[in-house]
Each structure stands twice: as C-alpha cells, then as structure tokens.
C-alpha cells in the first residue's frame, strides 16, 4: 500500500471513555484521518478501528447506552481491522474471569482475560515488549492478561511469562498501552 493510500485511510477511535486523545495523536502523527466513534453512524466509511483502554466495565455500559454493541460486532465480523488496547482487549474477549457485576463483552475474540492482573494503578510499569510486529514501547496500567487462547488466535506478545498480545485475522488486542509511550508500531500494523 502506498503512502498516498495510507493518508486517505479513516480510522475510528471509540471515544466514550479512556485513552482516546493519545491514540488520535499517534494516528495523526502517521498522517491518518481519525473519526471519534460515539454513535453507530460514525462507523460508516472506516478502514480501521481502535478500541482504547480505560475502565472496561464503564466502556461496556457506555457501548450499550449509545447503541454501539451490535453495530461494532457487525463491523468487526464484516472484516473491519481493529487494534484494541488494555480495556479494549477485555471488551473484545469471549470471557472475563473476574467481571464487574453485570459486565459483558462483545465476544468477538476467542480468549479469556483476567482484569487488573498486573496489579493496581500504583504498580504500573513501562517496558519494551517483544511482539510479532517488533519491539513495542508500552505502559502497563492495571493491565489484563490472557489466561486462555482459543483456536485461531495467535499469541503475538508475552510479558513476565504472561500472554499480553493476541491476533485473530484482522483483530489485534494487547494488554498494554503503546499510545502512552508514543510507539506507532501497532498502529502502523492496523493501517495494513
């Protein structure tokens, strides 16, 4: 894909809660047009999507309030490329080991996750994580881990002996925040 083609891509960033501005900044630095996704109509014409980190149970509630659950599920099933970070990974998972009361997922990625597996906010850390796409500077903030990987899901990153990155088709999900470290590696991958 040429640089000119990349510049006309439209990447949506689900903008209900969490690290939206940081993802937008990384995408803008790559010359990509971004759309803040707050309603189903904002999904029209996108060439990719970012599900940012934040608080996974809050994101779940807001997706339902704003009527985004079924449109997101359909767009992703129809082949929209996705990068999900931290709470975004939890949002895509088939199962959460320790959900908040009433918490649901989009059930689009055949994995099981454990929320806050790397500890509380004060136990946050920065690290360079070896991924299938190369080293990625990352921040781990109340990060989940993947405790089960289903058929058709590839492990693309581990940290401290735990699975922290997976890919299935056009969906990449990581437990960390590359956008907070300003690392565009995974965002470039989203662009194809």
Active site residue 177: yes
Per the CB < 8 A criterion, the answer to whether 131 and 138 are in contact is no
For the chain, 192 residues long, give each residue's pLDDT as a single digit of tens.
434 444 469 999 999 999 999 999 999 999 999 999 999 999 999 999 999 999 999 999 999 999 999 999 999 999 999 999 999 999 999 999 989 999 999 999 999 999 887 665 555 789 999 999 999 999 998 899 999 999 999 999 999 999 999 999 999 999 999 999 999 999 999 998
Pick the catalytic residue: 23, 159, 179, 187?
179
Per the CB < 8 A criterion, the answer to whether 83 and 178 are in contact is no
Q: How far apart are CA 95 and CA 91, in angstroms?
A: 9
Question: Crossing angle for the helix pair 56-65 and 69-77, nearest 10 degrees?
Answer: 100
In CATH, what number does 3-190 get? Answer: 3.40.50.880
Active site residue 123: no
Active site residue 86: yes
Q: Where are the domains of the chain?
A: 3-190
Pick the catalytic residue: 22, 86, 159, 187?
86
- The pTM score is 0.93
Concatenating the DSSP letter of every residue in 44-95 gives: TT-SEEEE--S-HHHHHHHHHHTT-HHHHHHHHHTT--EEEETHHHHHHEEE
């Amino acid at each position: 894909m040429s640089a000119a083609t990349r510049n006309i891509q439209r990447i949506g960033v689900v903008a209900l809660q969490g690290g939206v501005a940081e993802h937008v900044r990384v995408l803008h630095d790559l010359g990509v047009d971004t759309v803040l996704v707050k309603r189903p109509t904002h999904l029209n014409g996108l060439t990719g999507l970012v599900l940012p980190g934040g608080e996974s149970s809050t994101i779940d509630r807001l997706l339902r309030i704003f009527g985004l659950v079924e449109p997101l599920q359909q767009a992703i099933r129809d082949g929209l490329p996705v990068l999900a970070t931290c709470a975004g990974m939890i949002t895509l998972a088939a199962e959460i080991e320790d959900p908040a009361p009433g918490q649901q997922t989009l059930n689009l990625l055949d994995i099981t996750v454990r929320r806050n597996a790397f500890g509380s906010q004060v136990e946050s850390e920065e690290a360079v994580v070896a991924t299938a796409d190369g080293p990625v500077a990352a921040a781990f903030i109340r990060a989940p881990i993947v405790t089960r990987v289903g058929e058709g899901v590839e492990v693309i990153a581990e940290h401290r002996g735990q699975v922290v990155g997976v890919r299935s088709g056009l969906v990449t999900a990581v437990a960390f925040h590359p956008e907070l470290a300003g690392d565009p590696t995974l965002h470039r991958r989203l662009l194809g």
